[in-house]
Structure 1
Amino acid sequence: MRMKFLALAVAGALSQAAFACTPGSYTDNVMFGTTSAGVPNRVLDASCTTIDDQIADESPWGNQAAFIAHVSTVTMSLQKAGKISALERARLLTAARTSQIGTTLKVKLIAFNDFHGYIKAGEGSSSNPGVARFSTRIKELKAQNPLHAVVSAGDMIGASPLTSALFKDEPTIEAMNRIGIDFNAVGNHEFDEGKDELLRMQHGGNHPTDPYSGLGLNEDLKAGEFAGARFGFLAANVRDEQSGDTVLPAFGVKDFLGNKVAFIGMTLEGTPTIVSPSGVAGLTFGDEADTVNALIPRLKAQGIESVVVLIHEGGAASGGINGCTGVSGPIVDIVNRLDPEVDLVISGHTHQAYNCLINNAAGQPVRVTSAGQYARNLSDIDLTIDTRTRDVIAVAANNLTTGTGSTTAEDPALTDLVAHYDSLAAVPKSRVIGRITAAISRSQNAAGESALGDVIADAQLDATNDAGTGEAVVAFMNPGGIRADLPFNAPNGDVTYGDAFTVQPFGNSLVTMTLKGEQIKTLLETQFNGCNGQTAERILQVSVGFNYSYTAGNACNARVTSMTLNGVAVDPSASYRVTVNSFLADGGDGFAVLKEGGNRLGGAVDTDAFEAYLQANPSGVTPGPRNRITRN
C-alpha cells in the first residue's frame, strides 16, 4: 500500500507539473507585491515561464518610474507577441503604479569597528575568529541584498598582533581589499605611526626602511610593492595645521540605483591625548558634532539626503551586544548635538557592542551601533530609502556574532593570505623568551590594578633601576598599552616573542625622568575621569615597592590619600627617578605632567625590557599580587 501511495503521489506531482507548464494554464493572478493586477498569471511556454516571471517586480528599483517603464516595455512585448491583450496590458500598468514598487529601496550596511589587525584566528585571544571567518559572515550578509556597503568605524589597524603588525599592518589592508569593504573612518590607532604612514596605507608603496614591508602575495601587490587600500579612508575632522585642508576625504558617497548615501568618517577629537605626539604632529582634530553639522549643507547641495556617520568614538551600555541599557560615554553628547539630517551613527573606540537609539539635536531618536572589537561581531543594518525624497525613512539594526571553530567556516579567499603571513612570521613569533608560572591577566580588580600590569611595571623598573640605565625607583605603565592577557603555554609556561608582542605591540621605548613628589601626586590625580583634563578613568599600573591609596568619591586633586615608596611616605618636595614608556613621557593618555619631567634618559624598547625580565627569572615569573593600589 505504501509503495502504491508513493507512486500515486509522484504521478500526481508530474500531472500538476504538466498542467503548470501547459501554455495558457494558470492558478492565480499576476501580483505586484500585494497588489493584484486582475490578469491571469498564464504560462507562456513549455519552459513554465509565466507573465509574472517576465516582470521583475521583486528586484530592487531605484525609483517608481524605472519600474513602470520596465513593466511598460515587457507588457508591450507580450502584447505584440499575442500573449496578452491591450486591456490586460493596461491593467498591468495600473497595478504597477498602484503597487508603489520602486517608491522605497532597501540598502544593507555591514559595519564593524576596532578590528586591530586580528587576521589570524586565535591570535591575541582564543575568541578571535580571524579574518577568514569574518569574511564568510560578511559574504553571507552581502548575499542577502545586492545593494550593500561594508564600512568600518576605525582602528582597523594599529595595536595589532604580530601576524599583521610585523608587516606594518599591510596584511590587514590586503585582507580588507579582498573582502571588498567600502570605507574606513580613521581611528586614533591609524595615527600610531604618523600621517605619512597613514597615507601610505591608503595609497600604497613599500615602507622606506622596514624590510618586512611589501612581502604580500603577488595578487595583492602592485608592481611588486604594497598596493595600498582599495577602499577609502575618511577623516572629516583631521586637518593639516598649515594648509587647513583635511588630510583625507571628509566623506565618501555610494550610489544605489540613483539613491546616494554619504558616509562621513572621523576619529575622536581627543586623538592627540591618546596618540604619541609624533603621530599627530602638524595636525588638528575638530569637534565631532560640529564637523558633521558643517558638512550637511554641502551634502544637500549635491542632492544627498541620506547621511551615515562613521565615528571612532563611542560609549558603553548593558544588555548584551544588542542592548542599550544605561548608555553613557562621549557618543551620547555627540549624537545629542547632531543635525537631524543624520540618519545613522556607526561608532567605535570603546570596544563595546551596543545597539541604541539616542536623541539628536531636535530630540529625535537616531540609531547608534557599535560591533565591539576584534572581528567578534558585525552590525547588520538595513536602511529603507524613500526614492522620491532620497531620504532614509527607516533603520533596522542587529549585531551578529562572527562565530569561531565549527560554527563559521573560513573563507578560502582569505586563508592563503593568512597562511602566507603566518609562515613568514613563524620564526620571530615562536622564539621562546622566558617562562611564567601561570597565565597572567590584564583584568583589573576594584582598585584598577591588574596582575599583568604589576609584572610589566616591574620589568620596566628592573630595566632602568641600575646606575647607567636611569636609577629609577618606580615605574608606571598605562593600562591601554596592555593589549592582551599573557597565556600559559603548556607544559612549561614558555612565553614566546609573539605572546609578548601581542601584549605590548606599540614598540615604545622606556624613558626615565626626575619628578618631584608633588608631580607624582598630580600624575596619579590625573587618572580619574574629569580630573585635570582626563576623559576616561585610566589607572596607572605601578612597580613593586610603590603603594598608594585613593578615595573615589573625593573631589579632583584630593582623591589620592597616601603614597609610599618602600614603606616611606613620598615627600612632595623630594626628587624621584621615574620610568614610563615614551608614549606616556610625551603626555599620552592625558598625563601632561610627565612632559615636565627633567634629566631624561632613554632606555630599551618595552618588549626588550620585558624579555630581559623574563630571562632574569628563569624559574618563571609569577602573576603580580595586585596589592599596590588601594581604593577606599
Structure 2
Amino acid sequence: MSRSSRWLGLPALVALAAGTAVPAAHAGQAAPVDVQLLSITDFHGYLQPYNDAANGEVQLPDGTKIKVGGAAYNAAHLKRLREGRRNSILFSVGDNFSGWPFEVDAFRDEPTVEVLNKLGIRFSATGNHELDVSAGFLKDHMERGRCFGEVNVDSCFTDSTGKRFRGARFPFLSGNIVSARSGRPILPPYNIEWVRGDRGRRMPVGFINLTVPDTPVGSTSYQPDLRALPLLETANRYAAELRRQGVRAIVANVHDGGTADGAGFNGCNNPRGPVIDFARQASPEIDAIFTGHWHAGFNCVLPDPAGAPRPVIEGLNHGRLISEIDLRLDRSGEVLRGESRAVNHPVTRDVPADPEVKRIADYWTARGAQRFAEPVARQKGDFTRTQNAQGESTMGDLAADVQYWTAGRSRKGRADLALVATRPRTGSNAVSRDLPYAKGTGAGDEDGRVTFGEAWNAYGYGNPVLTVSVTGEQIHQALEQQWQGGKFAPFAVSGNVRYRYDASRPEGDRVNPADVSVGGRPLDPARRYRLAALAYTLIGADGYTAFTGFGDAYRNELPDREAFIAYLKAKGTIEPAPLDRVTAG
C-alpha cells in the first residue's frame, strides 16, 4: 500500500467508483506494472443464456433493462477485455457449480468445469456450494477427476471433446474452512500469481481466498466434519504472512457478500452486509476485495482502517457481469492505490458468441435432454401431492421412505425413522411434483414409466439427507408444530411410523406421545432416536424449530435428488402405499 494514496480526496474516490482511472499520484516513478484482475462469481453452471429477470437481465442506471449472460458470451467479453493486456488474471469468487440447470446438475457439475477450463480460470475461492457434496468430493473428483460409481453413468461423463472428465485445471482455495478435528485448512489458503514488468522483472500478487463462515452448517453444504474460522481474523493473518514473504500486492477473494441501493451494478449507495463490514476492518495491506455469495452487483470504494481508498466489488450471479479491478504496481511491487480502477461489465449479447464455448454448452444441453428421457423405474399407480383429510399423500410418503432408505445404506446413517416437510411454512418444498402413471409430455415417457427427469423434478432441491440424534419429545413437538396459527403444515413420515392426532384439541396439544409408534413400539419421550431428514428441516429453515439442538449429525452419501434416483433404480418398480400412517379423531 502506498502511503501517499491515503490523501486522495472525494473527487478521486468518485472517479474510482465510476470505473475511471484516478490521476496518477506517482508520475515520477518509472516503469509501473499494470495488472488486470477479472472475476466471475456465483456462476452456478448457467451455461446457456436465460431471458428472465433473475437470470438473464441487468438494469442500467437509467432503468433500461438489457439481456445478458450465457457462457459463450462470457467467453467473448473476456477475450475482448484481455486483449492487449500483458498481465491479466482471471479467477472466480466461488459457487461455480452445484447449480440449478438440469444439464449440469444431472452430470455432477462436470459440464461447468469443462466450460471454466475453457475460459481459462486460474483459481477459485471455495464457495459454500463447492462443498455441497463433501470436501473429499471437491478435492478428489472436481479437482483431480477421480471417478466414482460407473464411468459415464454416475461420474466421469464423456465431455464435448469425446474424452472423459479429468477435473478442473485450476485449484480451489479457502483459508478459513478447516477440519473440525485437526483445525487445519482443508485447502490452500492463498495463492501467489506472478506478473511481468520491464527488463524481465517478475512481481508477485497474492490472493487470500475466503469462504462464507456458515458453510459447515448451511442447508446444502452442511458438513459436520468441518468448521469455519472468522473472515477478518483469517484475512489479516494471511496478509501478514504474505508480506513476510515479500508480497506487496494483496487481494482478498471473499465468497461472502453485501448489497447497495440503486445506482446500478456500478453504484454504491448505502452499502451494507458482512463483506462491507469486513472491508472496513480488514488489514490495510489488502489492496482490493472481490466478493460474492449475495448475488448482488455493486462497485464501492471504502476506506481501509488506515484511511486509504480500497475497491470492493461484487458481480451479481449466473454469468451476468464480469468484475474488473486494474491495479498499478510501483517498482517495489506496492500497489499505487490512487491509480486503481474498478468496473463491472455487463455480459451483453450484442457481440458474436464464442463458438467453442457455445459448442460445449450446446453439447451438454443436448446430453441433458437425453438424460432427462432415461427410464429409471416402473410405477403401478399415481403418486400425487394431493393430501387426504389427515394431511397424508402418496408422494409425501414416498419421499419419506426414500430418506429412510437412503439413511439405511450405511451403518453410520441408519435411522429409526424419517420425516419430510410436505407443505413447509418457509422456503422450498422438497416434494415439488407429482409422478402420474399416465404418459406425460416429456421425451421418453410412457404409461407406468418414471424417467430420470420426472424423478429429478419431483423430489429434492440439492439438500443433504442427515441422520441425527433427537429425543422422542422433540419428535412429539415436531408433530405438534404441524399446526401453527390455524394453518396445517404436515410432515410425511416413513412407513414404520404411525400416529394419531385430535384436531379438536388446542394447538400444541393435539398429539399424544402414546398415540405415536416407531417401528411398532410407542414413542418414548425420554429416549434418543436416530432421525433421517433434510438439513433444511433440521436447522429450522422450514419453519419447524423442534429439532434445534440435534446432535451426532451424519451426512449421508447421497443428497435428495441423487438419493431418489438411486432408490428408484434399486426398487425397479414402485407402488403407492396405503394412506394409513396418520389417523385423526
TM range (shorter): 0.5 to 0.7
| Contact in 2 for aligned 1:220/1:226 (Cα 8 Å) | no
Q: 1:241 to 1:294 in 2, by over 3 A?
A: same
Q: 1:500 to 1:316 in 2, by over 3 A?
A: farther
How many Å separate the matches in 1 of 2:392 and 2:269?
A: 40
Task: Pick the aligned partner of 1:262 from 168, 187, 206.
Answer: 206
Alignment partner, residue 127 of structure 2: 187
How many Å separate the matches in 1 of 2:391 and 2:124?
A: 37
Deviations 1:528-552 (A, max 9, x none): xxxxxxxxxxxxxx997349xxxxx
| Contact in 1 for aligned 2:464/2:535 (Cα 8 Å) | yes
How many Å separate the matches in 2 of 1:340 and 1:233?
A: 25
Please say if 1:408 is aligned against 2:348.
no
RCO higher in structure (CA 8 A, sep ≥6):
2
Matched residue type, 1:133: Y
Alignment partner, residue 571 of structure 1: 508
Residues 386-401 of structure 1: pairs in structure 2 closer than 5 A: 386-393=330-337, 394-401=339-346
Alignment partner, residue 134 of structure 1: 74
Residues 38-57 of structure 1: pairs in structure 2 closer than 5 A: none
Residues 370-449 of structure 1: pairs in structure 2 closer than 5 A: 370-393=314-337, 394-404=339-349, 407-429=350-372
| Contact in 2 for aligned 1:160/1:169 (Cα 8 Å) | no
Matched residue type, 1:401: P
How many Å separate the matches in 2 of 1:298 and 1:328?
A: 29
Superposition deviation, residue 570 in structure 1: 2.2
| Contact in 2 for aligned 1:154/1:348 (Cα 8 Å) | yes
Alignment partner, residue 115 of structure 2: 175
Partner SS, residue 345 of structure 1:
strand
| Greater Cα radius of gyration, structure 1 or 2 | 1
How many Å separate the matches in 1 of 2:136 and 2:272?
A: 34
Partner SS, residue 547 of structure 2:
helix
| Contact in 1 for aligned 2:418/2:532 (Cα 8 Å) | no
Q: 1:516 to 1:318 in 2, by over 3 A?
A: same
Q: 1:521 to 1:327 in 2, by over 3 A?
A: farther
| Contact in 1 for aligned 2:482/2:489 (Cα 8 Å) | no
Deviations 1:510-545 (A, max 9, x none): 9999757866899999xxxxxxxxxxxxxxxx9973
Matched residue type, 1:397: A
Please say if 1:249 is aligned against 2:188.
yes
Alignment partner, residue 148 of structure 2: 207
Superposition deviation, residue 216 in structure 1: 3.1
How many Å separate the matches in 2 of 1:523 and 1:327?
A: 39
Residues 45-124 of structure 1: pairs in structure 2 closer than 5 A: 102-122=30-50
Deviations 1:349-379 (A, max 9, x none): 1111111123433344421111111001111
| Contact in 1 for aligned 2:160/2:360 (Cα 8 Å) | no
| Contact in 1 for aligned 2:217/2:223 (Cα 8 Å) | no
Task: Pick the aligned partner of 2:395 from 451, 463, 466.
Answer: 463
Q: 1:522 to 1:150 in 2, by over 3 A?
A: farther
Q: 1:323 to 1:471 in 2, by over 3 A?
A: same
Residues 225-624 of structure 1: pairs in structure 2 closer than 5 A: 225-257=164-196, 258-276=202-220, 280-319=223-262, 320-393=264-337, 394-404=339-349, 407-429=350-372, 463-464=395-396, 475=422, 477=424, 501=456, 505-506=461-462, 508=464, 515=474, 545-546=488-489, 570-571=507-508, 574=511, 582-587=534-539, 593-594=546-547, 605=560
How many Å separate the matches in 2 of 1:414 and 1:135?
A: 7
How many Å separate the matches in 1 of 2:234 and 2:549?
A: 33
How many Å separate the matches in 1 of 2:330 and 2:129?
A: 37
Partner SS, residue 280 of structure 1:
coil
TM-score by length of 1: 0.60
Q: 1:403 to 1:191 in 2, by over 3 A?
A: same
Superposition deviation, residue 177 in structure 1: 0.9
Task: Pick the aligned partner of 1:165 from 105, 109, 112.
Answer: 105
| Contact in 2 for aligned 1:309/1:342 (Cα 8 Å) | yes
Superposition deviation, residue 132 in structure 1: 1.3
Partner SS, residue 594 of structure 1:
coil
How many Å separate the matches in 1 of 2:122 and 2:246?
A: 21
Superposition deviation, residue 390 in structure 1: 2.7
Alignment partner, residue 43 of structure 1: none
Superposition deviation, residue 606 in structure 1: 6.1
Please say if 1:217 is aligned against 2:173.
no
Matched residue type, 2:82: K
| Contact in 2 for aligned 1:545/1:566 (Cα 8 Å) | no
- Bigger mean CA offset, 470-479 vs 108-117: 470-479
Superposition deviation, residue 110 in structure 1: 1.0
Matched residue type, 1:400: H
| Contact in 2 for aligned 1:252/1:263 (Cα 8 Å) | yes
Q: Please, which runs of 5 or more residues in structure 1 have no aligned partner?
A: 1-97, 434-452, 487-491, 526-541, 548-564, 613-632
How many Å separate the matches in 2 of 1:473 and 1:208?
A: 28
| Contact in 2 for aligned 1:517/1:572 (Cα 8 Å) | no
Q: 1:597 to 1:312 in 2, by over 3 A?
A: closer
Deviations 1:405-451 (A, max 9, x none): xx232211212222322222212335899xxxxxxxxxxxxxxxxxx
| Contact in 1 for aligned 2:249/2:333 (Cα 8 Å) | no
Partner SS, residue 251 of structure 2:
strand
Deviations 1:285-333 (A, max 9, x none): 1101100101122111211111111111001112221122122211122
| Contact in 2 for aligned 1:150/1:181 (Cα 8 Å) | yes
Partner SS, residue 417 of structure 1:
helix
How many Å separate the matches in 2 of 1:566 and 1:607?
A: 36
Q: 1:593 to 1:150 in 2, by over 3 A?
A: farther
Q: 1:478 to 1:426 in 2, by over 3 A?
A: farther
| Contact in 2 for aligned 1:461/1:474 (Cα 8 Å) | no
| Contact in 2 for aligned 1:461/1:473 (Cα 8 Å) | no
| Contact in 1 for aligned 2:423/2:429 (Cα 8 Å) | no
How many Å separate the matches in 2 of 1:482 and 1:102?
A: 61
Superposition deviation, residue 233 in structure 1: 0.9
How many Å separate the matches in 2 of 1:454 and 1:332?
A: 46
Superposition deviation, residue 259 in structure 1: 2.0
How many Å separate the matches in 1 of 2:210 and 2:482?
A: 30
Matched residue type, 2:347: T
Deviations 1:565-593 (A, max 9, x none): 9797521684699x995122443759874
Q: 1:392 to 1:156 in 2, by over 3 A?
A: farther
Q: Please, which runs of 5 or more residues in structure 2 have no aligned partner?
A: 1-25, 57-67, 197-201, 377-384, 402-416, 434-438, 444-451, 491-501, 517-530, 569-585
| Contact in 2 for aligned 1:191/1:275 (Cα 8 Å) | no
Query: How much is the aligned-residue C-alpha RMSD, in angstroms?
Result: 4.8
Alignment partner, residue 575 of structure 2: none
Matched residue type, 2:273: G
How many Å separate the matches in 2 of 1:299 and 1:466?
A: 54
Partner SS, residue 141 of structure 1:
helix
| Contact in 1 for aligned 2:483/2:508 (Cα 8 Å) | no
| Contact in 2 for aligned 1:517/1:571 (Cα 8 Å) | no
Partner SS, residue 342 of structure 1:
coil
Superposition deviation, residue 284 in structure 1: 2.2
Aligned residues: 449
Partner SS, residue 226 of structure 1:
coil
Matched residue type, 1:214: C
Alignment partner, residue 86 of structure 1: none
How many Å separate the matches in 1 of 2:104 and 2:79?
A: 22
